[in-house]
Structure formats: structure tokens, C-alpha cells
């Protein structure tokens, strides 16, 4: 996976604690929403250039650094 997914995970994590200790809990709904929005970013070239659906799938995988 790539750095962008880590950034989205961090954005969806609620931090709690005092100055000495900080714990985080992932908000799965927010994480999913951020991923969906990011998919729109990943698909922008397809929408602009009218690329095929197969290419759109590859763009999403490439954007998130997912290898099969």
C-alpha cells in the first residue's frame, strides 16, 4: 500500500489522551468516506479522457498502490 492510504487512515483516526500518552481509534465510516472521495481523485483522468472501465480499475489500484 502507498503513503496516501496511511494519510487517509491517520485522518480517520480519533486521538485521545494526555501529553504523556496518546491512543488512537479508527473511525471506519470516515475512513471509507475518505477512500471513496479519493477514488474520485484517482478517476479524474478517466473522466477527462473517457478511458475504458478496465483502465479505470487499474487507475484505482495504482492510485492506492495495490498489487495483485
pLDDT at 7: 93
Q: How far apart are CA 25 and CA 4, in angstroms?
A: 19
Which residues are CB-contacts of 3 (< 8 A; sequence separation ≥ 6)? none
Domain limits for position 39 = 3-64
SS3 41: helix
| Chain center to CA of 51 | 21
Which residues are CB-contacts of 11 (< 8 A; sequence separation ≥ 6)? 30, 34
Say how many domains are in the chain: 1
Predicted confidence (pLDDT) per residue in 1-35, tens digit: 689 999 999 999 887 766 666 577 888 888 988 88
Which contiguous run of DSSP H or E holds residue 18? none
Amino acid at each position: 500500500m502507498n503513503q496516501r492510504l496511511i494519510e487517509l487512515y491517520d485522518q480517520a483516526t480519533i486521538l485521545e489522551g494526555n501529553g504523556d500518552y496518546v491512543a488512537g481509534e479508527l473511525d471506519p465510516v470516515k475512513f471509507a468516506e475518505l477512500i471513496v472521495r479519493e477514488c474520485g481523485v484517482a478517476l479524474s483522468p478517466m473522466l477527462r479522457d473517457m478511458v475504458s472501465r478496465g483502465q479505470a480499475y487499474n487507475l484505482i489500484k495504482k492510485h492506492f498502490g495495490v498489487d495483485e
